[in-house]
A and B are shown apart, each in its own frame.
Chain A
Amino acid sequence: MDKISITKLEEIKTEVTESRKKQKTDITICGGTGCHAYGCLEIAQAFKNAIKKQRLQNQVNVRTTGCHGFCERGPIVVIQPAGIFYQRVKLDDINEIISETIINKKVLDRLLYVDPRTGERIVEEKEVPFYKKQKRIIFGNNGFIDPTDVKDYIALDGYKALTKVLFNYTSEEVISEIKTSGLRGRGGAGFSTGIKWEICRQSLADVKYVICNADEGDPGAYMDRSLLEGNPHSVIEGMIIGAYAIGASEGYIYVRMEYPLAVKNITVALKQARDLGLLGESILGSEFSFDINIFRGAGAFVSGEETSLMASIEGRRAFPRQRPPFPAQKGLWGKPTNINNVETWANVPLILNKGADWYSKIGTKKSKGTKIFSLVGKINNTGLVEVPMGITLREIVYDIGGGIKENKKFKAVQTGGPSGGCIPAEMLDLRIDFDTLTKAGSMMGSGGMIVMDEDTCMVDIARYFLEFTQEESCGKCVPCRIGTRQLVEILTRITQGKGEEGDIKKLIDLAKTIKEGSLCGLGQTAPNPVLTTIQHFRDEYEAHIIDKSCPALYCKDLIVYYIEPKKCVGCLLCLKSCPVSAIKGERKMVHVIDQDLCIKCGACLDVCPPKVGAVSKYTGKKRDRILKKAYSIRVRK
């Protein structure tokens, strides 16, 4: 491809739109991470083969696009322009889709999404309740773009903001636009993006850098990955605009190594942008030159912290350092550096295309725009959701998420990853933005939202997160290195039924010390899961410590599995599935669990047919009685 000018960019746009018009139908297959795991690539290939076999290539186009967000229902196939939304598509369905939907224009009812509340089958994607309350301004284009083809992005006004900025705006004007928009960093802390850029712009140096932080380490959060995989050019365009505003000549995208598809798509996208002259020397014929490198992380959670991330790019251990000097003054190799998160960068072209005034109308007073959350855990509709700031938690969990799995009781939602906290059911009407979440003791973080139900033990969750941060602590600061270890030990003791009086106070004191005595965000926020669970679920802690019982029936050391003799029909299912042969019995005879052998893996509970429902879990006094009885039988024998 030749290097292009602005007119060429327009030509590409017209060319793609025209050729789309000729092809009557567009079969798009979601190529996000979730759908990949479901096997979407085979489905896409099978579609291509079938279309070829039927000689329909001139009328039908098959494309693998970015993530549609509704991961629960993958693999997802959307037929455009009608917008027919097929979910959980299997290889066997393909021939029928082609013969019925593509050729005969009939909708296949069985592949449609059924609204569980009304039982109604829904044809169009935008009518599905999961999407209805969303505002997909950043994420919406994913479904229309083949991430490996820059033309798809250009056809949707891609790089239009860049041309506008390069030839009509001074760098001050760009920064002022971003400041007016009210955009705040999506990586977690929520610092004003415009002010961050301004500080970096004012630092004088021969070389400046911009970095895209795609080291998305929070477990349960994967929106950055889906943006990079599904719409890489939006991030690249944002970075070029940022670099122009700041005066940077080189950029880095720091991607987690666990994201191979993101690395692949971004590498392709960078090459295409370079070939078109959108990166490199004198971009689009202007006087501005800038290029981007990709850097693969190597598996360290702390490298998501900005000073650690820079140390990692420099080829050193990802140790954080004292701030100030801030990266905007002294960053990568001592030069002024601006770091923003993937989602922040993706917001930039949109703001410049549609204007700061338009953007600042979305959201709340102090948090503008939308936020992508990954809604996961015990929720019916797992997936990525983009919502305006200020939406209530209830709307996300019930209207978009479709409520809790198996109609269980909602207990809490955990936001902000290992640095965040748990928000209990009483706060379901909380309007979500940066400040309300911080006030509730949690934080926005990168946007993970893990839903927990009555079966989730909150002490165990606190232990889980602390075990995570303890392992990921780089070891530089003593309170973080040793303090988190002590927290894990106390919490583990409590979940094993060895908790002592005074443990809760010990946890709170230690947590506060770690928060105060740590250098970087990891240590300063690591105790949040402990503090918020104690604040909102103190009764669960007390049940573990005083009654030696786990109300959620989760902690292995505090529960027993028991087969109710009155309910057991003697079907041998559990007996056969037990991996340690702890269940004794014969056909049509009541089965009994040998409590000495039982490893509490839960296999028997899984296989016992729901209508029989003979296997139960017990904790506390009932558990003691069952164990006592089992012991007396053994003694008698």
Chain B
Amino acid sequence: MENLSEFEANQKDLIHILHKIQAEYGYIPSQALSSISKHLKISESEIFGVLTFYKAFSLKPRGKHLVTICMGTACHVRGAPMILDELKRQLSIEPGETTEDDLFTLETVNCVGACALGPIVISDGNYHGQMKTREVNKLINKIKKEIKE
């Protein structure tokens, strides 16, 4: 499926390849495993082992909008767990899951290094700092509204 000729036929390029496919498709399609395996001459099970070890790669497609919440220590002491609870309640999903309508994927991240703004929610790359539980609803509705438009 993929044109992998830009990469060396060496295991050291495996993570680079996975990064590229993840960026292109938003996940690693299962067919990709066999093409990588052929190109790098390593077993599919080895590739599977590597890709499931790292958080950056996913075997399932993501929703249209990615909502990420920072669970770093600074955000934690400023109330991130409350915000996460509210996000889970509003979207009716657990972190790592996608809503049934494929609109939202909820993810947690260990620290985005913008601790002055904590607690932080990032929606499709936009930072929303100093979040409050009551603002979660507004944020989700705003994204939904944008989808309709």
Contacts and interface: CB of A to CB of B under 8 A. Distances in A.
A382 B115 contact: yes
Contacts of A465: 73
Contacts of B76: 219, 461, 464
By size class, the interface of chain B is 35 or more
A220 B74 contact: yes
Given A376-B115, A383-B116, A601-B86, A579 B137 contact: yes
Given A219-B110, A317-B49, A579-B86, A376 B118 contact: yes
B127 A37 contact: yes
Contacts, number: 146
B71 interface: yes
B85 A601 contact: yes
B34 interface: no
A220 B15 contact: no
B116 A450 contact: no
A378 B133 contact: no
Interface stretch (B51-59, B98-106, B141-149): B51-59
A71 B116 contact: yes
A480 B63 CA distance: 34
Interface string A286-317: 00000000011111110000000000111111
Given A71-B114, A258-B112, A603-B134, A579 B89 contact: yes
Given A599-B85, A603-B132, A315 B114 contact: no
- Most A CB atoms within 10 A — which of B71, B77, B120, B132? B77
Given A72-B116, A374-B115, A377-B78, A313 B56 contact: no
B116 A315 contact: no
B18 interface: yes
Contacts of A300: 53-55
B72 A219 contact: yes
A222 B111 contact: yes
B11 A258 contact: no
Given A376-B74, A376-B118, A315 B111 contact: no
B81 to A, nearest CB: 8
A285 interface: no
B12 A315 contact: yes
B73 A414 contact: yes
A316 B11 contact: yes
Contacts of B10: 315
A259 B111 CA distance: 10
A434 to B, nearest CB: 21
B73 A448 contact: yes
25 contacts: A33-B113, A37-B117, A37-B120, A219-B72, A219-B76, A219-B111, A220-B72, A222-B113, A225-B113, A258-B112, A298-B57, A300-B53, A312-B15, A315-B50, A316-B50, A317-B49, A376-B118, A378-B77, A450-B73, A464-B73, A465-B73, A579-B89, A599-B85, A602-B133, A603-B132
Given A33-B112, A300-B55, A382-B74, 20 more contacts: A37-B114, A37-B127, A38-B129, A220-B72, A222-B114, A258-B113, A298-B15, A299-B55, A315-B12, A315-B14, A316-B11, A317-B53, A376-B115, A450-B77, A456-B77, A468-B110, A579-B134, A579-B137, A603-B133, A607-B134
Interface of B: 10-16, 18-19, 49-50, 53-57, 71-74, 76-79, 82, 85-86, 89, 109-118, 120, 127, 129, 132-134, 137
